């Protein structure tokens, strides 16, 4: 199974001995791969291109991968998979809380990485979809276009959201007025090893509320159901996306 030539990946790792063979393998799988040997190099490439996904090492000389991921979460909507030798659960939680989408520990099987890339692309809305699937969600005068990963507020302005916030909002929009507990939300937005990250979902919901609630301290759209989880208290309509 190969990917469309438009699926572009930025691979950021200071170890050329790992980066170059991995880039070659991913290219054979059909991805278009750009390499960067440092966070500074990655910033230059990101400034002039829009990648579908970033594979990001954490431990690098100079700026580390966590700092670069935080920058991407604040300024761009690029999914991030950490590739690192640091496998402790605390490191994974930190990486996910600042905007990472998945985490794979070195050494890893390249086939598993490809499977995780495809999973993240599907969850982020960047995987190729059929024309018939191009829909827009409308709720409380907000609009979410999953294909473009674009959130538009009631005044028509585009609101920047991270990949994690996007996946979380999409989960709520697919299940309006349903109580979703943390385990179910994590299964929807994080996939495997979701049990490690149940603290992260509360932080992501807080961030999402600050984006879409008139008063995030008194949320009306994403409501807390004590002892149950969270619920999107809004009617949701699906309409055909228009370019």
Kindly report, residue by residue over 40-86, the tens digit of the pLDDT.
Answer: 999 998 887 778 899 999 889 999 888 998 888 777 778 899 988 76
To the question of pTM greater than 0.75 for the whole model, the response is no
What pLDDT, on a 0 to 100 scale, did the predictor assign at position 94?
73
What pLDDT, on a 0 to 100 scale, did the predictor assign at position 49?
78
What pLDDT, on a 0 to 100 scale, did the predictor assign at position 242?
55
ω into residue 203 within 30 of 0, thus cis? no
pLDDT single digits (tens) 70-129: 888 777 778 899 988 766 666 667 777 777 888 888 888 999 999 889 888 877 665 544
**How many Å apart are CA 175 and CA 172, to the nearest integer?**
5
- Structural tokens at position 10: 């930025």
- Structural tokens at position 9: 């990946």
- The larger pLDDT score, comparing residue 152 to residue 188, is at 152
**How many Å apart are CA 59 and CA 46, to the nearest integer?**
19
Averaged over 221-242, what is the pLDDT? 86
Three-class SS of 12-68? ECCCHHHHHHHHHHHHHCCCEEEEECCHHHHHHHHHHCCCCEEEECCCCCCCCHHHH
pLDDT single digits (tens) 11-45: 999 999 999 999 999 988 888 899 999 999 999 98
The mean of the pLDDT values for the chain is: 82
What pLDDT, on a 0 to 100 scale, did the predictor assign at position 203?
81
pLDDT single digits (tens) 160-200: 887 778 888 988 998 889 888 877 777 666 544 444 444 56
What pLDDT, on a 0 to 100 scale, did the predictor assign at position 113?
92
What pLDDT, on a 0 to 100 scale, did the predictor assign at position 189?
66
Residues contacting 71, CB < 8 A, separation 6+: 43
- Under 8 Å between Cβ of 2 and 29: yes
**How many Å apart are CA 224 and CA 81, to the nearest integer?**
29
Averaged over 152-163, what is the pLDDT? 88
């Amino acid at each position: 199974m190969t990917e469309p030539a438009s699926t572009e990946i930025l691979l950021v790792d200071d170890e050329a001995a790992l980066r170059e063979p991995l880039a070659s393998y991913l290219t054979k799988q059909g991805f278009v791969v750009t390499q960067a040997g440092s966070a500074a190099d990655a910033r230059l490439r990101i400034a002039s291109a829009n990648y579908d996904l970033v594979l990001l090492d954490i431990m690098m000389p100079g700026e580390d991968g966590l700092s670069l991921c935080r920058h991407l979460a604040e300024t761009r909507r690029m999914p991030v998979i950490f590739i690192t030798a640091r496998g402790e659960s605390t490191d994974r939680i930190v990486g996910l809380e600042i905007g990472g989408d998945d985490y794979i520990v070195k050494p890893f099987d390249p086939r598993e990485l490809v499977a995780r890339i495809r999973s993240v692309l599907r969850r982020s809305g960047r995987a190729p979809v059929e024309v018939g699937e191009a829909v827009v969600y409308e709720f409380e005068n907000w609009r979410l276009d999953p294909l473009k990963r674009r959130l538009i507020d009631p005044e028509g302005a585009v609101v920047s959201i991270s990949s994690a916030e996007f996946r979380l909002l999409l989960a709520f929009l697919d299940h309006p007025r349903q109580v979703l507990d943390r385990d179910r939300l994590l299964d929807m937005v994080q996939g495997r090893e979701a049990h490690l990250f149940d603290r992260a979902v509360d932080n992501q919901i807080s961030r999402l509320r600050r984006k879409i609630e008139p008063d995030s301290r008194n949320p009306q759209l994403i409501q807390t159901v004590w002892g149950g989880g969270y619920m999107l208290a809004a009617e949701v309509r699906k309409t055909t996306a228009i370019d």
